[in-house]
C-alpha cells in the first residue's frame, strides 16, 4: 500500500536510487505514490565527496531522512548521511513488514478485490493501528477482540483474523516464578487445590496468554507464563501469584512468591 500524500519533515523513508547526477541523487520513494526526492551531494555522506557514485548506485534501495517538503513545487529534500545504521535496519524491516501486510490483506480480501474496497479496509485498520503489520500481528495474537473497534463488518474481521493466524509469526516470551502454598487446616489439601485453580485463572486467562502451574516439591509450585511481550507476561505472573496467595490466606494458610526455585537445605 502506497500513501497518496507527502512524507513529513524528519520522517525516515525507503527509496530506490533512480538517477545519479554530479550535484546529487534522485530517489523514488517506495512508500508514496509518484513521489521523488533529491539528496544534494552535501547530504549523500559525511566529509568531502569526489564522486557520488562511490557512495550509491542506480537501483539501490536506501533509507533517507526527509529534510524539507515543498508541496507547491513538489520538491522533497532528503539526506542519506543523517541516517545511522541502526535506523536504516529498523526502517528497512518496517518496510518489509508492511509489504508482507499488503500481501496478507490481499489474501484476506481476495486477489480480485477492487482498489476502492482494499483502500477502505486498509484505512479502517490504519485508523486504529499504527501500521497494517501491527493490525495483523494483533489479530494473530488476540483474534477478533483485537479488531473490535475497527470499522469493518464481521466477515471482513473474520477474514483478517484467519489470514493473520495462518501467516503471522507471533513473538512470544516466557517468564517463570514460584509460589509456596501451605495450609495446616484439616481441609488444607482442598485449600491448596483451590489456590492452584485461582493461580491458573479459573479459566478466565486471555486467549493470547498461556499459563501453566506445576508441582515442584512441597510446598513449592511453578508458574510459567507465555505472552506476546514481557510486560504482559510479568503482569500475568504477578497476578497469578496474587490470586493464589489470596485464596490460600482466605482458607487460613500462607502463601509466598519468589522468582528463583528454592533448593532444599543440605
Within 10 angstroms of residue 53's Cβ, the number of other Cβ atoms is 12
**Peptide bond connecting 5 to the previous residue in cis, omega within 30 degrees of 0:** no
Per-residue pLDDT band at 265 (split at 50, 70, 90): very low
218 vs 159, more confident: 159
Q: Which residue has the higher pLDDT, 143 or 221?
A: 221
Confidence of residue 94 (pLDDT cuts 50, 70, 90): very high
Question: Using CA of residue 214, residue 217, residue 218, residue 220, what is the dihedral sign?
Answer: negative
Among 157, 112, 120, residue whose Cα is nearest residue 139:
157
Predicted local confidence at residue 2, as pLDDT: 78
Alpha carbons 151 and 124: distance in angstroms, whole number:
6
Tell me what pLDDT residue 262 has: 64
> In this structure, which long-range contacts are made by residues 89-98, counting pairs with CB atoms below 8 Å and at least 24 apart in sequence?
91/12, 91/13, 91/14, 91/63, 92/14, 92/61, 92/63, 94/131, 94/133, 95/14, 95/30, 95/31, 97/131, 97/133, 98/1, 98/31, 98/131, 98/132, 98/133
Domains along the chain?
12-82 (2.40.50.140), 87-167 (1.10.150.190), 173-258 (3.30.70.1130)
Give pLDDT tens digits for 45-74: 998 898 999 999 999 999 999 999 999 999
> Among 229, 226, 234, which Cα is nearest to 257's?
234
Report the pLDDT value the prediction gives residue 169, as an integer from 0 to 100: 81
14-36 burial, b at 16+ Cβ within 10 Å, e below that, comes to: bbebeebeeebbbbebbbbeebb
Angle between helices 132-142 and 85-109 (to 10 degrees): 70
pLDDT over 90 at 99, yes or no? yes
Amino acid at each position: 500500500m502506497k500513501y497518496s500524500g507527502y512524507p513529513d519533515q524528519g520522517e525516515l523513508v525507503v527509496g530506490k536510487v533512480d538517477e545519479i547526477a554530479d550535484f546529487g541523487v534522485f530517489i523514488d520513494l517506495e512508500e508514496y505514490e509518484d513521489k521523488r526526492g533529491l539528496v544534494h551531494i552535501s547530504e549523500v555522506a559525511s566529509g568531502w565527496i569526489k564522486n557520488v557514485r562511490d557512495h550509491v548506485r542506480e537501483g539501490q534501495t536506501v533509507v533517507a531522512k526527509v529534510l524539507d517538503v515543498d508541496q507547491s513545487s513538489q520538491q522533497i529534500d532528503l539526506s542519506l548521511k543523517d541516517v545511522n545504521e541502526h535506523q536504516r535496519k529498523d526502517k528497512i524491516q518496517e518496510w518489509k513488514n508492511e509489504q508482507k501486510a499488503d500481501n496478507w490483506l490481499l489474501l484476506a480480501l481476495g486477489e480480485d478485490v477492487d482498489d476502492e474496497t482494499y483502500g477502505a479496509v486498509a484505512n479502517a485498520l490504519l485508523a486504529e493501528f499504527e501500521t497494517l503489520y501491527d493490525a495483523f500481528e494483533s489479530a494473530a495474537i488476540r483474534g477478533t477482540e483485537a479488531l473490535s473497534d475497527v470499522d469493518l463488518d464481521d466477515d471482513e474481521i473474520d477474514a483478517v483474523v484467519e489470514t493473520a493466524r495462518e501467516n503471522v509469526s507471533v513473538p512470544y516470551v516466557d517468564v517463570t516464578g514460584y509460589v509456596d502454598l501451605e495450609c495446616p487446616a484439616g481441609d488444607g489439601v482442598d485449600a491448596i487445590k483451590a489456590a492452584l485453580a485461582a493461580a491458573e485463572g479459573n479459566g478466565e486467562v486471555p486467549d493470547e496468554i498461556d499459563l501453566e502451574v506445576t508441582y515442584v516439591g512441597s510446598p513449592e509450585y511453578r508458574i510459567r507464563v507465555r505472552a506476546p511481550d514481557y510486560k504482559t507476561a510479568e503482569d500475568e505472573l504477578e497476578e497469578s501469584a496474587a490470586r493464589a496467595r489470596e485464596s490460600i490466606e482466605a482458607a487460613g494458610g500462607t502463601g509466598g512468591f519468589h522468582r528463583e526455585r528454592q533448593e532444599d537445605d543440605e
